């Protein structure tokens, strides 16, 4: 993204009193390390999915938040 990365977007959403109840699920094909996962979760993400486990993880995460 040209002006900020996904972690910054997530931090902005989670720090906004109107938007902070929105569930944020981060998904990345490029971030494949534990450090990337930790940074995503520390930014406020509710879940973080790394390829190649996308299809299995999406089902689990969506099921969790729809209940």
What is the tens place of the pLDDT at every residue in 7-54? Answer: 899 999 999 999 999 999 888 776 667 888 888 899 999 988 877 666
Encoded tokens for 48: 């973080």
- What stretches of 1-67 show up as alpha helix (H) in DSSP? 6-15, 34-42, 54-66
Which H or E element spans position 47?
strand 47-50
The CATH number for 54's domain is 3.40.50.2300
- Residue 1 inside a domain? The answer is no
Task: Enter the pTM of the model.
Answer: 0.72
Residue 46: which domain range?
6-66
Per the model's pLDDT, the better-predicted residue between 56 and 15 turns out to be 15
Give the span between the Cα atoms of 49 and 62, in whole angstroms: 12
- Say how many domains are in the chain: 1
């Amino acid at each position: 993204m040209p002006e900020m990365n996904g972690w910054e977007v997530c931090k902005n959403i989670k720090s906004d009193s109107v938007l902070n109840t929105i569930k944020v699920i981060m998904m990345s094909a490029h971030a494949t390390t534990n450090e990337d996962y930790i940074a995503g979760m520390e930014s406020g993400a509710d879940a973080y999915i790394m390829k190649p486990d996308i299809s299995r993880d999406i089902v689990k995460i969506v099921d969790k938040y729809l209940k």
